[in-house]
Amino acid sequence: MSSAPRRGLGRGFEVLIGGVEPELARLPTAEIHPNPRQPRKQFDGEAATGLAESIKAQGLIQPVVVRPRLEGGYELIAGERRWRAAREAGIATLPAVVREADDRDTLLLGLVENVAREDLSPVEEARAYAMLIDEFGLSLGEVAERVGRSKPAVSNRIRLLELPEEVLALVGRSELTEGHARAVLAVPDHDGRRRLARRIVREGMSVRAAERAARSAGARTKERRASSVDPVLAARIKDAVRLLTGFEAKVGVAGVHLPVDDEVQLEELAEALERLAGP
């Protein structure tokens, strides 16, 4: 089953090159340097080796995007995985688009590429969002608009950073999923969060079991009427609908509601559902 493309990210490469017809240059691979603000911190060595073999055989098809450095050479804006693979393959020069960008735009453009490719772990994505807000003064709404996400989706990712580093490391290594992490986050203290995270990994808990364990460990819960929807369950449904359709759902006792602004969005929703239904 193929999921619908993320809304707002379809422009991809056009966003990275500034919406103009790019002028390609061939730059010495040795003169290109990694971006210290690259949101992605972990690179799969096996996948990089596979990409290096492909580049040896076919060359690099999609150019990297770089900016000039004051100290000489170029700094990557997008394409670090391709650059690393080209170095491993011994490629002397790379096709590149050179553009002007400040530190904020460099981080933002790298984030857009990684989110579009789904290359970032939830923690890497959360830290990049937080840096845009804390260091560069973007609002939550501005970040959401630039990366094609909803404000709640960005806010929920940033909330992961409230977890202790030990738990964040488990998420970064994919030993805990984001769903597990949200369950752990409901526990009120760091010691309890660490204990629950270790238990989830040790016992191989499902997200639902982790949520039950979090409630037993004193998870913060809002008092609610008997007729209201479990907020943890509602969040899971919203996440699933967003992943499958790209739309934000409203979940209540009456059911699941998918609001649309106009007929264009209604058609987008119809196409997403048709893709899910398959042939």
Q: Which residues are catalytic?
A: 80
The structure tokens listed for 113 are 């590429």
**Nearest of 208, 37, 173, 49 to residue 110 by alpha carbon:** 37
Of 130, 67, 148, the residue nearest 103 (C-alpha)? 67
Roughly how many angstroms between the first and final C-alpha of the chain, as a whole number? 11
Tokens of 158: 């940033």
Gap between the Cα atoms of 115 and 61, Å rounded: 20
Q: How far apart are CA 138 and CA 192, in angstroms?
A: 33
The CA–CA distances, whole Å, from 210 to 121, 141, 160, 177 equal 20, 31, 16, 11
Structure-token match 């004193």, residue found: 218
What does the alpha-carbon distance between residue 63 and residue 54 come to, in Å, rounded to a whole number?
Answer: 15
